[in-house]
Structure 1
Amino acid sequence: MSADELKAQGNAAFAAKDYEKAIEFFSKAIEIAPTNHVLYSNRSASFASLKQFDKALQDAQKTIEINPTWAKGYSRVAAAYHGSNQLDDAEKSYQKALELDSSNKQAQDGLKSVQAAKSYANAGPGPDLGLGKLFNDPNLIENLKKNPKTSELMKDPSLVDKVIRMKNNPQSGAQDMLSDPRLMTIMATLLGVDLNDDSPVGAQANAASTPTPSSSSSSKESEQTSVPEPKKQKQEEPKKDKDGDIKIEEATDSTTSQKQKADESKAEGNKLYKQRKFDEAIAKYNEAFEINPDVTYLNNRAAAEFEKGDYESTIKTCEEAITKGREQRVDYKIIAKSFARIGTTYLKKQDYQQAINFFEKSLTEHRTPDVLSKLRSTQKLIKDAEIKAYINPEKAEEARLQGKEYFTKGDWPNAVKAYSEMIKRAPEDARGFSNRAAALAKLMSFPEAVKDASKAVELDPTFIRAYIRKASAEIALKDFAKAIETLDLARTKDLEVTKGSNAKEIDQLYSKAYQQRFQGSSANETPEQTFERASKDPEVAAILQDPVMNSILSQARDNPQALQEHMKNPEVARKVQILIAAGIIRTR
């Protein structure tokens, strides 16, 4: 499994608040990619979520050691310092982050939070640092549990106990506030400090410390003053930023509930899709997207539209998924999937060039074997279509005659060009390959000649001339074994098709192949010397030990005409040719 895949699983575990599992995945990814600063940053966030601030700080410092110019790394360091109540160090780290990236929202919010904590820690003498007024609300605990900003925090019984202790004894509870950053979040909520707001924290604090309405005001008005309603914002489940770094902020209950509802609609859509009820499935995917604008639901809808045969809608839906995905900075794999589906749709419409364009875009986002295979097969379709469109028997015949004319004049290069044109115009005509093989042989391009002649006999297994040209080129390459094998096929086909009309030329090539094979033979050798030399060849030795061949050779000594009769047998003829070439049988 790659580091990117492990990181994706870690991000998913973090989003599900399974921080220990997230740490496990990030640790495995770090083993594979130990210089990836984002992995240390993500693991730091996971440790911080478990309140293990020492480990969070170690990873955060490793992050900025690898990439000292990354603002997010200093925000991670600051968050770890803040969690362990080292407020001065936290402030310096947030300021460093803002020096590198003045628009970094996480650093801006973090700095405000730290400065708010420091202002209360340094507020000077006083019985309770002004906490009495803030916590003097009979419905305090219930209001905090209902508030979206603090509802998750109030699920921790130990934190609820601290809030109650601060409510009952604000002076003694002040120390708890300085040692537990969560109490600062509660404090900010009670003060009306919105850490997502760009206004100075001091201004918010001053506004919140303005005297409350008189005691004659209703209890409802008092409740609204002490616990102001938070600004309504669009909540999104945290995933990761453009660098692949996960966000510390946690999703609200309402966001989680929306995602669950959307996933339920998606699941229903999937069931309908499998039942091939595509219109109903599309409606469910639309419903899911309206609840939670996740582009994966659009990809699902596009799949249903494709199966339905509504290709124009498929393309539009995928384009919408790409646009939304870019805006949401979703995983590049999701964008790649949308591009690939557009490509598949154009392929179905037989618009091959457009299909290729979108397959290439998909591979630019994320390379997968499946899309690469589709790209190559589509490119082949275009090439095959071009070849098919070029076929023209009349033009092929013109090229053949032109090639013949060049060949007769000895203009071998132009003959090759003409025969190549013939092959393009009539790729199933074996003559084009055979003729080009002859021209290539004249140019001493024997490997190409063998290839063309082989194609010719593949197209027409009875084409004797092509066999002969192939064997001639193989002899020129000194590949005698293959040449003899080709000549054996030529002899068989010649007897079947033309009643042996090419036997003389085939025999000459046999003799040439064997003579070159046994170049050590000499006319000055004694029969005994020839026999000793030739017997070292395994094939010659096997022939001499063959009782049938011994009988034939014995008859030939007394009656040479008898040998001619035996030569009509291709296997006997082949063995006799070997013995003649080796010098065992002397023809004169």
Structure 2
Amino acid sequence: MSADEFKQQGNAAFLAKDYVKAIDLFTKAIEVSETPNHVLYSNRSACYASNKKFEEALKDAEECVKISPSWSKGYNRVGAAQFGLSQLDEAEKSYKRALELDSSNKAAKDGLEHVQSAKAGPQMPDLGLSQMFNDPNLIQNLKNNPKTADMMKDPQLVAKLEGYRNNPQSISQDLFTDKRLMTIMAALLGIDLNMGDPSAGSEAQESAKPKEPESNPEPRKEPKQEPKQEPEAMEVDEEPNSRVAAEAEKAEGNKLYKARQFEEAIEHYNKAWELHKDITYLNNRSAAEFEKGDYDTAIKTLNDAVEQGRELRADYKTIAKSFARIGNAYYKLKDLRKAIEHYNRSLTEHRTAEVLNKLRSTEKELKKAESEAYVNPEKAEEARLQGKEFFTKGDWPNAVKAYTEMVKRAPQDARGFSNRAAALAKLMSFPEAIEDCNKAVSIDPNFVRAYIRKATAQIAVKEFAAAIETLNIAREKDAQVNKGANVREIDQLHAKASSQRFQPASDNETPEQTYERAMRDPEVASIMKDPVMQSILSQAQQDPAALQEHIKNPEVFNKIQVLIQAGIIRTR
């Protein structure tokens, strides 16, 4: 069973005054509890005190206040146990400490009054009681005495007498409530309660009866008894029972939530919160409000949960959940900035993959939404003309700035990226220019000017093979779209890329150096590793005429041309 189940059974046993059973059940609850629970020690202390085992009661009470030093009711337990042990000064301090923590603690007020009354009242003289009750033969002597023998058959009375060994003064609490103790005290002191003049007969007996009081007599003063200290009702009647009731309300709320009866669920979550202050109940209530579509109310509830959680020192994971749910509510309200703010606050409290993914997704969505909100074709055209003006004047930085504005205002217009690439190339920012050209042709695959600008930038960074490939695409697109209008410019760039691709480091380069330099080109290295080309080259070495037959294949021809340009195959 769980600690809570043992605790509930212990409560029932305590109320039934079966203290031994209650002690056993609270002990089991303590053993299975995941974390030290001050209420369990408090309740077991009450059981020990009710069973007159004040030393054990004090030990548990001290453990209770050690676990929860700010819980005033724990000091009630300490005071009760100390009072039972006649440690009146210590008991007074404990009750005062309880009142320092909670001035409305009625049990502490009552306990303090009992202690102070006991300290002020007359104490029963010892009369040799300490020596009498410490006699190891005490119980046996009483069993042997005909007047007390039958009494010693009651184990509870025997236990009570043994308890007087530690605290003989405490007999004054029971002397006037248990007539057997008068007989036992008389037997121990050697007094015969039936003494009298045998000849007196019934008259003597009659004279032993109390006489009727005379008119206006002086009231007889009864011996003042030391206040009897009984442990106050267990805190389970307040704190744990309220928690159990709150959990029951929450469970009912959860059932209604699953049935989508949100208004009814909210009522139960409110009752749970009223019974016990746990912000989980507020979080649950906000979930029902969220499902109702009442996002503003859910946000208010969750802000209250965070504020109350700080005061109650709630677990940081629970507070993180509150922040995350605030973020969810703002997301539903389309306030993405607020959603992002609260997702970040949730991650500050406790980092989880779920909230992190929500944050990243919302950030992307916000960026996209802001970009879309910024789109304006008219403003884009204004930026394009402004960029053209700066470009014509040679003001490349401002041209880049203007074309960047155009890109933001019209992200689906390929001209903005292509024009910015041209300005970036003027600023020698070739990698960025290539990237812009790639964006331009991804928007418009037939944009020949973007291919040409890309090839120009690739030649500038000595990516000759890539430039040639880009120019081949440009030539094909130009023929399809522009009827070859740009073929001359494309051919010039192709020749430039080809000539510079395998340009030797010096005029005195040896064949070995040429081969080593050529093999650094990825395309050349790939051709030389091709088994088919290896076979063709091997045949050509033995029979040069055989090469003429192979170059009739266009693919082989292009590869042979690359090897010739690289200097691998020498034509003279």
Q: TM-score range by the shorter chain?
A: 0.5 to 0.7
Partner of 2:448: 464
Paired residues in the alignment total 452
Check the 8 A contact 1:453/1:470 in 2, yes or no: yes
Compared CA separation, residues 576 and 499, structure 1 to 2 (3 A) = farther
Q: Give yes or no for the alignment of 1:420 onto 2:404.
A: yes
Q: Deviations over 1:196-225 (max 9, x none)?
A: xxxxxxxxxxxxxxxxxx9999xxxx9997
SS in 1 for 2:419: helix
Q: CA deviation at 1:426?
A: 0.7
Q: CA deviation at 1:546?
A: 6.1
Q: Tell me which of 154, 166, 173 is aligned to 1:173.
A: 166
Q: CA deviation at 1:420?
A: 0.8
SS in 2 for 1:545: helix
Partner of 1:406: 390
Q: Tell me which of 528, 540, 545 is aligned to 2:534.
A: 545
Amino acid at match of 1:171: Y
CA distance in 2, matches of 1:128, 1:507: 126
Q: CA deviation at 1:515?
A: 4.3
Q: Deviations over 1:459-518 (max 9, x none)?
A: 222223222322332333334454455445445544554455545544544454454443
Q: CA deviation at 1:582?
A: 1.0
CA distance in 2, matches of 1:507, 1:20: 88
Q: CA deviation at 1:419?
A: 1.0
Amino acid at match of 1:306: F
Amino acid at match of 1:386: E
CA distance in 2, matches of 1:327, 1:502: 75
- After the TM superposition, which residues 270-309 of structure 1 pair with which residues of structure 2 at under 5 Å, given as runs? 270-309=254-293
Q: Deviations over 1:415-471 (max 9, x none)?
A: 111111111111111111111112111111122112212221222222232223223
Partner of 2:50: none
Compared CA separation, residues 556 and 173, structure 1 to 2 (3 A) = same
CA distance in 2, matches of 1:474, 1:274: 62
- After the TM superposition, which residues 15-414 of structure 1 pair with which residues of structure 2 at under 5 Å, given as runs? 18-20=29-31, 165-166=159-160, 168=161, 171-174=164-167, 226=228, 251-414=235-398
Q: CA deviation at 1:542?
A: 4.8
Check the 8 A contact 1:131/1:170 in 2, yes or no: no
Check the 8 A contact 2:124/2:169 in 1, yes or no: no
Check the 8 A contact 2:504/2:514 in 1, yes or no: no
Q: CA deviation at 1:262?
A: 2.3
Q: Deviations over 1:69-118 (max 9, x none)?
A: xx99xxx9xx99xx999x9xx99xx9xxx9xxx97789xx99xx9xx99x
Compared CA separation, residues 391 and 556, structure 1 to 2 (3 A) = farther
The percentage of counterpart residues that share the same residue type is 50
CA distance in 2, matches of 1:406, 1:529: 47
**TM-score scaled by structure 2?**
0.58
Amino acid at match of 2:438: S
Compared CA separation, residues 172 and 408, structure 1 to 2 (3 A) = same
Q: CA deviation at 1:254?
A: 4.5
Compared CA separation, residues 476 and 535, structure 1 to 2 (3 A) = closer
Q: Deviations over 1:33-74 (max 9, x none)?
A: xxxxxxxxx99x99xx998x99x99xx99x9xxxxxxx99xx
- After the TM superposition, which residues 457-496 of structure 1 pair with which residues of structure 2 at under 5 Å, given as runs? 457-480=441-464, 482-494=466-478, 496=480
RMSD value, Cα? 6.1
CA distance in 2, matches of 1:365, 1:525: 67
Check the 8 A contact 2:396/2:424 in 1, yes or no: yes
Amino acid at match of 1:443: L
Compared CA separation, residues 263 and 586, structure 1 to 2 (3 A) = same
Q: CA deviation at 1:413?
A: 1.2
Compared CA separation, residues 229 and 530, structure 1 to 2 (3 A) = closer
Compared CA separation, residues 451 and 230, structure 1 to 2 (3 A) = same
Partner of 2:422: 438
CA distance in 2, matches of 1:437, 1:275: 59
CA distance in 1, matches of 2:469, 2:356: 41
CA distance in 1, matches of 2:526, 2:265: 74
Q: Deviations over 1:370-404 (max 9, x none)?
A: 33443444344443333222211122122222222
Unaligned runs of 5+ in 1: 1-9, 27-41, 64-70, 133-160, 178-213, 232-249
Amino acid at match of 1:538: A
Check the 8 A contact 1:165/1:173 in 2, yes or no: no
Check the 8 A contact 1:534/1:540 in 2, yes or no: no
Check the 8 A contact 2:306/2:322 in 1, yes or no: yes
Check the 8 A contact 1:289/1:298 in 2, yes or no: yes
Amino acid at match of 1:172: R
